[in-house]
A = this chain, B = another copy of it.
């Protein structure tokens, strides 16, 4: 666990409550945490879900790896410690967005079970929805949308998930999407159905 360094601090109840923000938005906040190998479709599916939700008037936001690494987490590398801190910070930001009654979609490989468990603890059960985007390494390497697998195979990139770094798949994700067999639209609709079934699209 990350050590609490600052003392003389205490949690403030915001004057405007989460319940009031939920009422204004017309729906609850939640975190859809997409996890899976590079190239499995996390970002594409998250953005497709974002579009469907936005078009229904749901307040959403997408946090994805590349954007976060150019801003909040620009001072983090891909070392194991920095990967853990990367995921921790994203979890904390996702929690703030969810607290503001936003449905936040995060698209990060997030390969380590312990890191995702920490985020689940930060965000809380009921609010945190782990979505495994399940595609075989073969599928992802064949797609290779950014040419990263090729670089990992030649050793140009070290510590690449699935090649020379592990991917620890979730054992009990809230939702599993079969990205080997199904297309983006079908999978995005499965996510919407999950949100509806969990009562997250109403206040």
Binding site for B on A (CB under 8 A): 2-6, 8-12, 14-16, 20-21, 24-25, 43, 47-48, 50-51, 54, 57, 59-67, 69-78, 82, 85, 89, 92-93, 95-97, 99-100, 102, 122, 146, 148, 151, 157
Contacts and interface: CB of A to CB of B under 8 A. Distances in A.
Interface centre among A50, A76, A92, A102 (most CB of B within 10 A): A92
Contact of A71 (B74, B100, B122): B122
Given A43-B12, A48-B15, A96-B63, A20 B72 contact: no
A162 to B, nearest CB: 15
A9 B102 contact: no
A59 B60 contact: no
A78 B2 CA distance: 16
A187 to B, nearest CB: 15
A60 B96 CA distance: 12
Count the copies: 2
A118 B26 CA distance: 36
B76 A6 contact: yes
Given A3-B74, A5-B82, 18 more contacts: A2-B75, A4-B74, A5-B76, A5-B77, A6-B74, A6-B78, A8-B148, A8-B157, A12-B64, A12-B66, A14-B47, A14-B50, A15-B50, A16-B51, A16-B54, A20-B54, A61-B96, A61-B100
Nearest to A78: B6
A50 B16 contact: yes
A130 B40 CA distance: 42
A25 B146 contact: no
A75 B118 CA distance: 15
A4 B73 CA distance: 9
Of A25, A48, A93, most B-chain CB atoms within 10 Å? A93
A116 to B, nearest CB: 17
A104 B69 CA distance: 22
